[in-house]
Amino acid sequence: MALKQMTLTMQANTGYVIALSAARSGIGYSSVKVRTTQITWVKTGPYSDTVQTFPTPTAPSTSPGATNDYYKMAANEVKTFGYELPKGGEDDSAFGTNNDRIQYLFIYATAIGDLTIDAH
């Protein structure tokens, strides 16, 4: 599968849904590396064969004792979501149809900054 690269210019206190591939394309990514210049909340969404509609992400709760399903990235942090397939991820058929392919990223930006995405 080809490498997909993109940069999102984020606005403060704004949520984003990023589709890494088109609906019903059969393309999901095994590994997504994200770099951010500001504190950013990130969550991955799995591949789906159906057209998906998602609400725009809102700020995750930061009150004491609160839990949420987003990963909080520090400014200038680099994080890899997913896993690396053998041989650069060219063929994931050996992993069957239930592998955790990533198709969507849900982002909540706390400040103006850039989010760089490398998916493969």
Quick one: CA dihedral 75, 72, 8, 44, positive or negative? positive
Question: What's the CATH code of the domain at 61?
Answer: 2.60.120
- Structural domain tally of the chain? 1
- pLDDT for residue 15: 95
Question: Quick one: which of 104, 106, 18, 20 has its CA closest to 59?
Answer: 106
Q: Which domain holds residue 62?
A: 4-119
- pLDDT for residue 24: 66
Question: Quick one: which of 36, 11, 6, 8 has its CA closest to 110?
Answer: 11
- Local mean pLDDT, 10-residue blocks, the chain (120 residues): 85 93 76 93 85 84 88 94 62 52 91 92
